[in-house]
Structure 1
Amino acid sequence: MVLSPQTMAAVRQSGAIPGAEYLLSAEGVRKAFPGVVALDDVQFKLKRGTVHALMGENGAGKSTLMKILAGIYQPDAGEIRMKNQAIRLASPLDALENGIAMIHQELNLMPFMTVAENIWIRREPKNRLGFVDHGAMNRQTADLFRRLNIGLDPESLVGELSVANRQMVEIAKAVSYESDVLIMDEPTSALTETEVEHLFTIIRDLRSQGIGIVYITHKMNELFEIADEFSVFRDGKYIGTHASTDVTRDDIIRMMVGREITQMFPKEEVPIGDVLLKVENLTLDGVFRDVSFEVRSGEILGLAGLVGSGRSNVAETIFGVTPATSGTISIDGRQVDISSPTEAIRNRMAFLTEDRKDTGCFLPLDILENMQLAVLQDRYTRAGFVQEGKLARDCQEMSAKLRVKTPNLYERIENLSGGNQQKVLIGRWLLTNPRILILDEPTRGIDVGAKAEIHRFVTELARQGVAVVMISSEMPEVLGMSDRVMVMHEGRVTGFLDRAEATQVRVMELAAQ
């Protein structure tokens, strides 16, 4: 059936699809990887002009299904239909040609190319001589940004942008394809509250144009804010679909994990000991200045602040990634010179970075190789030889303790879900037996069940006397887990709040000074 332009305009406006109730559907989809059935006879149906949230724990199969719909993976069985027509998606290009675009959780931009070049790659406007017309490309990008109210320079290098701004470039790139279906995988993981609201404005505008949006998130507040309906997966199986107005947060969690989550933030009162880490007047020129704080044994110090406040930069400097311009760091009352991560590890310090793809995981290596990297030259080496048996046993025990979903430790880490990759990285640092643990966004992109497990594990470490510094953009996590909260704004410390006085309002007042 061929529709007239007038009919198609009416379809986009009304959301009705002649001859088809759903814009995109998948039936009986199965996908297996070595040792793991990622999807087992699942279904999914997306209506035109709606936001459909996809929920589930890490490893539930959400991203696998979306990668099938985006043409990255091919299913072992099942059927995919677009506008009531069966389609075969053998590549991402096939998906784009069928009107399906995806914004991935792990950003896939070219850092040494400009914003405009990233958006229009392989679709660059050409001049009459057949060369790329950079002027036209920049103008097209500027027009796109005006439409989406994104305040970026088309000629900026992507590598110089913040993670949040790179996310906006990815969103603009996906919208530029004028697709009927837009898949968003954890699109707000690196965005501030203001940026999230901006993204929601964009989503509402796209929805009003009849575009179907698949929204993958672990953030319950986002589900009720933006989604019309949601589907839940668990352990590779389809559990059910409901309108977002028909259920509560607890209903969703029960569907996701198959059990009750009784306490998301299991903070316990534990004995607070002597000062383990003391930072005085730490400065990194052009980034942050005169940062001073201390953390005691058994204490969890939360670091809060807006994107660009300098929280992560302070953590990297303490760990020796970017040595300070001035200031001192002391451990157990003794001033130390931490000029590299190796020195930090020797001082029994551990640091989980915020970007697991770029600065955490070695994607081509397996789980065992990734987990053992920080301890190879220390605890498991005797007379120049690695005690491989003991190391493997301890890695296996750590994997089991953190509930990493994998057939074995020889699975390549790139085949794991984002949350399971994060657990492997946490295990890497816990194997070093740290006394000072710095966690930068430890539960970003992790489901509610895994979050609760990690929070309990952090509480247990504090009980054992570990000094914990936790950086998080999620206010409930900062308030729920911290004994004290240090707030930063534009590279300086604006205040400290004890647990009893720390509220979202007080933190935001200090963060916006």
Structure 2
Amino acid sequence: MTTPLLDLHGISKTFGPVRVLDRVDLTALPGRVLALVGENGAGKSTLMKIVTGIYHPDEGGEIRFEGQPVRFTNPRQAMDAGIAIIHQELNLLPGLSVAENMFLGREPRGPFGLIDWRTMRERARALLHRLKQDHIDPAWPVGRLGVGAQQMVEIARALSLDAEVIIMDEPTDALTDVETQILFEAIRGLKADGKAIIYISHRLGEIFSQCDDVAVLRDGGMVHTGPVAELTEAQLIHHMVGRDITDQYPYVPAEAGPVRLAVTDLTAEGVAGVSFEARAGEVVGFAGLMGAGRTELARAIYGANRIWTGTVLLDGAPVRLKSPRDGVRAGIAYVTEDRKADGLIQPHSIRFNMALGSLGRLCRAGGVVDRDRERSAVAEYMRVFAVKAPDMDAAVQTLSGGNQQKVSLAKSLLAQPRVVILDEPTRGVDVGARREIYQLVNQLKAQGLCVLLMSSDMPELLGLSDRILVLSHGRVTGTFAHGEATQESIMERAVAVP
């Protein structure tokens, strides 16, 4: 019988009155990919933080690595032993270079203990080449890179450790299809080298195409383990959420009203002469490869990026968008793709974050915030979004990634906008919570809001959008009505040269 590289027995963890993990067993074998799945808040990230020494388990559990009992008291011990993790939330220092981020704390040294910069950059360049990222200069500051490129740097850093167990927490969320295939190729190489991969993802297609085994957490307990090949997608979803989900994309045909948003010949950073109209009660999806201009277009319409030329009309009236404040005042809400850096203030509470963009509505005469009204509004949105948290005063940074995304969505909608821009709204969100968000999109349509959906999840775009606009190099290269588009036709336009 093959000896497990990692073997967990009876792992429990309690935070205050909340039991996050309850006597969990988990086994990762060499040369195999183990999918660890479950809804947001099921305990996946907590379990992996215990494995990597960030958290300590309660008494009674045991961790064995390469057959020997271990108890890591800090992440460095786990790293030195041979366990690497690629975090869902980017964990890079933007002011340092790509190479410095890859080898932080492990810099190659030359004479007199000085950092050997040439060797470090050469090693970084070799790792980037392995991931087909030769266009990234190891000397560039990480802050210069987009989210997808930063994710590839995170992956390269994990590979640099030559670890025996590699944990990948939502590694493809910020990657293009091409980058995702490069990652899968790297995973196959790691399997061939006898490494154990623990793969956390809400993208069920990846589970069935890339993973050998699956372990399902629900409410802190392990409810299923076994080969992936023995499950159907419906059975896996049932294990995850405890119920059947028969319609993942609950599309409701639009009853579109008048033109709500009209963009004409808009040019800005990453955007070149884009024109389109979006009606009240309509979802307009935007497809395109990484760097096509989706996020740049969203930020320009919101006022976060400067518009160089072109006009934006809201309900027929021109709007001046020189800052996000202008966007909020005009009735435009933007749910950013990077909730950690741009969407939420991590150390502050759920209540503070949700209410931040709506203080004008929540104030009494004289500009004093009505705390009762604020707490009532936040409590209602926590209920509607099913945010899993001890209470509304819990710090956002203590929540799972999916629950943070729910808070980010609620913050934008609490301001009662007329236009909602959703940029990768289900990034890091489990299958059950995704459907809740999709149903919310339908509710926004029914209420007459105009929704712009920027997404790299093709089935999501096809399933929810009334129309899809395809961007390439900052320009619109194709337009499809709901039911007319296919993944192939969208990809054909996404790679087109305008």
- Normalised to the residue count of structure 2, the TM-score between the two structures is 0.97
Between the aligned partners of 1:487 and 1:23, the Cα distance in structure 2 is: 45
For residue 381 of structure 1, report the CA deviation from its aligned partner. Answer: 3.6
1:323 aligns with 306
Between the aligned partners of 1:133 and 1:185, the Cα distance in structure 2 is: 31
1:234 aligns with 218
Is it true that 1:282 corresponds to 2:274 in the alignment?
no
Is it true that 1:27 corresponds to 2:20 in the alignment?
no
1:6 aligns with none
Matches within 5 A, 1:139-178: 139-151=122-134, 152-178=136-162
Matches within 5 A, 1:251-330: 251-285=235-269, 287-330=270-313
Between the aligned partners of 1:435 and 1:369, the Cα distance in structure 2 is: 23
Higher mean Cα deviation, 85-94 or 380-389?
380-389
Kindly provide the amino acid, as one letter, of the partner of residue 371 in structure 2: E
Q: Aligned with 2:358: secondary structure?
A: coil
Q: 2:474 aligns with which of 484, 488, 491?
A: 491
Q: Aligned with 2:256: secondary structure?
A: coil
For residue 37 of structure 1, report the CA deviation from its aligned partner. Answer: 1.6
1:187 aligns with 171
Is it true that 1:337 corresponds to 2:351 in the alignment?
no
Q: Aligned with 1:154: secondary structure?
A: coil
Tell me the alpha carbon deviations over residues 455-504 of structure 1, each in whole angstroms, 9 at most, x when there is no partner.
00110110110110011100000000000001100111112111131111
2:394 aligns with 411
Tell me the alpha carbon deviations over residues 313-365 of structure 1, each in whole angstroms, 9 at most, x when there is no partner.
01001111112011111011111112111111111111100001000111110
Higher mean Cα deviation, 382-391 or 320-329?
382-391
Kindly provide the amino acid, as one letter, of the partner of residue 195 in structure 2: I
1:451 aligns with 434
Percent identical pairs in the alignment equals: 45
Checking the alignment, whether the CA contact within 8 Å between 1:26 and 1:80 is kept in structure 2 is yes
Between the aligned partners of 1:439 and 1:156, the Cα distance in structure 2 is: 30
Q: 2:369 aligns with which of 378, 386, 398?
A: 386
Higher mean Cα deviation, 382-391 or 439-448?
382-391
For residue 202 of structure 1, report the CA deviation from its aligned partner. Answer: 0.3
Q: Aligned with 1:125: secondary structure?
A: coil
Kindly provide the amino acid, as one letter, of the partner of residue 46 in structure 1: A
Is it true that 1:433 corresponds to 2:416 in the alignment?
yes
Structure 1 gap segments, 5+ residues each:
1-15
Number of matched pairs: 494
1:65 aligns with 47
1:3 aligns with none
Between the aligned partners of 1:149 and 1:338, the Cα distance in structure 2 is: 38
Higher mean Cα deviation, 205-214 or 168-177?
168-177
Kindly provide the amino acid, as one letter, of the partner of residue 457 in structure 2: E
Between the aligned partners of 2:175 and 2:141, the Cα distance in structure 1 is: 19
Kindly provide the amino acid, as one letter, of the partner of residue 212 in structure 1: A
For residue 63 of structure 1, report the CA deviation from its aligned partner. Answer: 0.7
1:45 aligns with 27
Between the aligned partners of 2:131 and 2:366, the Cα distance in structure 1 is: 61
Q: Aligned with 1:401: secondary structure?
A: helix
Tell me the alpha carbon deviations over residues 389-439 of structure 1, each in whole angstroms, 9 at most, x when there is no partner.
011011101101110011210111101000000101111111111111110
For residue 33 of structure 1, report the CA deviation from its aligned partner. Answer: 1.6
Between the aligned partners of 1:470 and 1:148, the Cα distance in structure 2 is: 30
1:507 aligns with 490
Q: Aligned with 1:294: secondary structure?
A: strand
Between the aligned partners of 1:45 and 1:380, the Cα distance in structure 2 is: 53
Kindly provide the amino acid, as one letter, of the partner of residue 476 in structure 1: P
Higher mean Cα deviation, 377-386 or 363-372?
377-386
Tell me the alpha carbon deviations over residues 291-315 of structure 1, each in whole angstroms, 9 at most, x when there is no partner.
1111101000001100000100010
Kindly provide the amino acid, as one letter, of the partner of residue 321 in structure 2: I
Q: Aligned with 1:374: secondary structure?
A: helix
Between the aligned partners of 1:328 and 1:222, the Cα distance in structure 2 is: 41
Tell me the alpha carbon deviations over residues 109-166 of structure 1, each in whole angstroms, 9 at most, x when there is no partner.
1111111111111221222132211111112222333444432322222111121111
Checking the alignment, whether the CA contact within 8 Å between 1:35 and 1:407 is kept in structure 2 is no
Q: 2:196 aligns with which of 212, 215, 222?
A: 212
Is it true that 1:348 corresponds to 2:322 in the alignment?
no
Checking the alignment, whether the CA contact within 8 Å between 1:36 and 1:406 is kept in structure 2 is no
Checking the alignment, whether the CA contact within 8 Å between 2:85 and 2:166 is kept in structure 1 is yes
Kindly provide the amino acid, as one letter, of the partner of residue 269 in structure 1: P
1:401 aligns with 384
1:123 aligns with 106
Kindly provide the amino acid, as one letter, of the partner of residue 320 in structure 1: G
Checking the alignment, whether the CA contact within 8 Å between 1:119 and 1:173 is kept in structure 2 is yes
Q: Aligned with 2:492: secondary structure?
A: helix
Between the aligned partners of 1:356 and 1:147, the Cα distance in structure 2 is: 29
Residue 211 to residue 344, structure 1, CA distance change in 2 (3 Å): same
- Normalised to the residue count of structure 1, the TM-score between the two structures is 0.94
Higher mean Cα deviation, 474-483 or 422-431?
422-431
Is it true that 1:362 corresponds to 2:345 in the alignment?
yes
Between the aligned partners of 2:131 and 2:263, the Cα distance in structure 1 is: 42
2:187 aligns with 203
For residue 236 of structure 1, report the CA deviation from its aligned partner. Answer: 0.8
Kindly provide the amino acid, as one letter, of the partner of residue 398 in structure 1: Y
Between the aligned partners of 1:220 and 1:250, the Cα distance in structure 2 is: 10
1:111 aligns with 94
Checking the alignment, whether the CA contact within 8 Å between 1:26 and 1:79 is kept in structure 2 is yes
Higher mean Cα deviation, 478-487 or 144-153?
144-153
Q: Aligned with 1:422: secondary structure?
A: helix
Q: Aligned with 1:221: secondary structure?
A: helix
For residue 378 of structure 1, report the CA deviation from its aligned partner. Answer: 3.1
Between the aligned partners of 1:222 and 1:450, the Cα distance in structure 2 is: 18
Pairwise CA RMSD of aligned residues?
A: 1.2
Checking the alignment, whether the CA contact within 8 Å between 2:362 and 2:370 is kept in structure 1 is no
For residue 201 of structure 1, report the CA deviation from its aligned partner. Answer: 0.5
Checking the alignment, whether the CA contact within 8 Å between 2:13 and 2:19 is kept in structure 1 is yes
Between the aligned partners of 1:41 and 1:312, the Cα distance in structure 2 is: 42
Between the aligned partners of 2:340 and 2:330, the Cα distance in structure 1 is: 26
Between the aligned partners of 1:169 and 1:209, the Cα distance in structure 2 is: 21
Structure 2 gap segments, 5+ residues each:
none
Tell me the alpha carbon deviations over residues 218-258 of structure 1, each in whole angstroms, 9 at most, x when there is no partner.
01110111101010000111111110111110010000000
For residue 207 of structure 1, report the CA deviation from its aligned partner. Answer: 0.7
Q: Aligned with 1:129: secondary structure?
A: helix
Between the aligned partners of 2:128 and 2:382, the Cα distance in structure 1 is: 44
